[in-house]
Amino acid sequence: MSDEKVLLLTGASGGVGRAIIKGLSDAGYQLALHYHDHFEELTALLDEIKPRTKVALFQADLRKEDEVREMVRSVVTAFGKVDVLVNNAGTSLSAITWKQSLDDWNNIISLNLTAPFLVCKYVLPIMRSLEYGRIINVSSVVAHIGMPGTTAYAASKAGLEGFTRSLAKEVVGKKITANVLAYGYMDAGMIDVLNEEMKAIVRSMIPANTFGPTDDILSALLYLADEKTTYATGQTLHVNGGLYM
């Protein structure tokens, strides 16, 4: 089994996922990259990364337990272990509460909250056997400040943070940490769905008056994932330009 750390990143084909993959490989991680759709978005990155580190793709619908179970099994077959799990996959379907469909609500909760639970459920036996692990669940500033049209999204991310705090207490005895990275409006990812007028409104709310660089997300992830970061667990690390303090 390689001494190099194996990192499983869900939602790797999204804007933020693609933005941090190269940095994770530069940091020396072997990469198990999950995607659901948009395989083509990853192919150019893979060609660049493969000469430097071991990397493989794993497709799954994280809302389905059998597919999550099979994905984790495939990752272990390919890499032998999982040292770091980054639950990055997520979705947002904005709607005012009284106009939100139940189907959309359930889809958001399922992908943003239930899916991280399922991935943790099947990764944790591996980490417990290793007596080592780093779990990083990706949340959002919206869970803390609230925004109109995001009740489902905010609820899912707030729930994820509560899940992580309880999980941290369950696994700390096996030298596994579980933390949350809650970032704000960055220069990649979900911000891309806004038109320029809405982007200007959101930017004006941020004390830093700019969207955040994805390098800041990478730096925060690398800190939480580091084997030397042993005493930070059950915490939420905020990266939002002062939007929430």
Residue 190 pLDDT greater than 80, yes or no? no
143: which residues sit within 8 A by CB, 6+ positions away?
A: 154, 157, 158, 160, 161, 182
Distance separating alpha carbons of residues 81 and 124, to the nearest angstrom: 11
pLDDT for 1 equals 38
**pLDDT (average), residues 8-27:** 93
Q: What is the pLDDT of residues 140-182, one digit of tens each?
A: 999 999 989 999 999 999 999 999 999 999 999 999 999 999 9
**Alpha helix (H) ranges present in the chain?**
15-26, 40-49, 65-79, 102-109, 115-130, 142-145, 151-171, 196-205, 214-225
Residue 189 pLDDT greater than 80, yes or no? no
Distance separating alpha carbons of residues 118 and 143, to the nearest angstrom: 21
Distance separating alpha carbons of residues 124 and 110, to the nearest angstrom: 20
Q: What phi and psi, each to the nearest 5 degrees, are found at residue 238?
A: -95, 135
| Tokens of residue 218, six digits | 């990478």
Active site residues: 153
Smallest CA-to-CA distance from 12 within 48, 51, 46 is with 46
Does residue 206 sit in helix, strand or coil? coil
Beta-sheet pairing, 133-140 with 30-35: unpaired
pLDDT level of residue 47 (50, 70, 90 thresholds): confident
